[in-house]
Amino acid sequence: MKILSLLLHDERFSNWTIEEKISRHHFSLQYLRFCTQKNWEPTLYTFHQDSEAKQTCLLSCGGKIKIFPVRFRFPPFQRFGNDHNPAETMREMLQDEPDLVHFHNYYLYSYPYTASFVKKKLGKPLVVQLHGYYNSLARKGFYLPCLLSLKKADRILYSYAPEERTYAKLGVAQKTVKIPVPGIDTDLFKRQRRTDSTHLLYVGRIPNPLAHGEKSPFLLLSLLRSLLRVKKNVVLDVVGDGPGLHCCHDLADRLRLSNSVTFHGYVPHGDLPKYYRASALTFSPIQVYDVDGWFDGAIQESLACGTPVAAFKASAGMPLNGTYGHLLSNNIEKAAVEVATLLETPENMEQIAQEGSRFVHQNCNSTTVADELQATWESALRA
């Protein structure tokens, strides 16, 4: 069976080169490996801003990536998701004749017309997936064409519970399947006995300072400055690269944090467990409604290793403790006090993290996610 995955955005927001895009760990490549494990034939279409013509790359796992140039961007002034090349991608789909199309991230502006093409011209089942956090009502209005086009999908995969209300209002709830994203290798990210640590951790991309809706290590630097007033020995490890790395360095210097922050840059995926295991707390610096293990690779990886996790509250009235992690105030001074309190009561953090670790190992391991994808794709083919 031929599975075609569509990841129709470029890499302006990440600063990845074409070589990095096809070699670094990414959920879209992980899905190709899932397919080859099932003896299916997978292909991924994606964009890159430096590509002038279509490039085809064969992966060692047996999957294939086709990288297309971006022909135009709409709406204007967007940093992500407004990349388009409908003529070439649609022509390629007709030539490749996939049995099923899986569209990653239906908040991309290419989704509405692509969904219509897949159903009307290609005539194949369409599975779409949410890759991101819950959006406010105002932003849902901004993406209304994408949301209305969900009616064209045969199956809708998601991991973030607040989206369920949107599906009910759109009348597509019967098509939805809740699935962990991205799912991790629990043989690599193993739980181990905890040791005392004064290290705090951020793992992920470093965006531009004003990037909307992305994780913000810049916020962590401000939090660290406040935290150091009450806990002198904490250190923040920043693992990752991206277009905002130099700005993050500069901010650390301006805040006089150079002795309390270590920027490790890009670290190969297989080397990440040692950072999680050496840390007292992993930050996912973005607003969420819960830390429940269903979404975000860094959250899943940290919990799998038994390391506690903290994110930021999407609503001021939410409690500090989420399902498997901690939700910090968006007021930096209050958040610093909350982190200091957590570090003073490690037994409470450990208990929640251990519960989260069991959840992740049971529900978010690569084998389980691959099996759930297979079941979803096969049900869409039978529909």
pLDDT for 193 beyond 90: no
pLDDT band at 119 (very low <50, low <70, confident <90, very high): very high
In degrees, rounded to 5, the angle at the alpha carbon of residue 91 between the alpha carbons of residues 87 and 92 is 120
DSSP annotation string for 225-285 = HHHTTT-TT-EEEEE---TTHHHHHHHHHHTT-TTTEEEEE---GGGTHHHHHT-SEEEEE
Residue 150, sorted as left (phi over 0), alpha (psi -120 to 50) or beta, turns out to be: alpha
Range 364-374 burial, b when 16+ CB lie within 10 A, else e:
bbbebbbebbb
Range 284-298 burial, b when 16+ CB lie within 10 A, else e:
bbbbbbbbbbbbbbb
Count CB-CB contacts under 10 A for residue 306: 21
Q: How far is CA 60 from the centre of its chain?
A: 24
Measured CA to CA, the distance from residue 155 to residue 27 in angstroms comes to 19
Measured CA to CA, the distance from residue 234 to residue 242 in angstroms comes to 24
pLDDT band at 132 (very low <50, low <70, confident <90, very high): confident
**Domains defined along the chain, listed by start:** 2-183+365-382 (3.40.50.2000), 199-363 (3.40.50.2000)
Counting residues of the chain whose pLDDT is more than 90, the rounded percentage is: 90
Q: For residue range 280-294, what is the model confidence (pLDDT) as tens digits?
A: 999 999 999 999 999
Mean pLDDT computed over 152-165: 95
pLDDT band at 303 (very low <50, low <70, confident <90, very high): very high
Is this structure's pTM higher than 0.85? yes
Q: For residue range 220-255, what is the model confidence (pLDDT) as tens digits?
A: 999 999 999 999 999 999 999 999 999 999 999 999
Residue 213, sorted as left (phi over 0), alpha (psi -120 to 50) or beta, turns out to be: left
Q: Strand, coil or helix: what is 92?
A: helix
First vs last Cα of the chain: how many Å apart?
A: 16
Task: For the chain, give the mean pLDDT.
Answer: 95
Distances (CA, A) of 330 to 237, 285, 292: 21, 10, 19
Model pLDDT, residue 195: 73
pLDDT band at 167 (very low <50, low <70, confident <90, very high): very high
Cβ–Cβ < 8 Å for 296, 268: no
Model pLDDT, residue 246: 96
pLDDT for 166 beyond 90: yes
Lowest mean pLDDT among 8-22, 201-215, 222-236: 201-215
pLDDT band at 356 (very low <50, low <70, confident <90, very high): very high
- Which residue reads 């965006």 in tokens? 207
Cβ–Cβ < 8 Å for 34, 370: yes
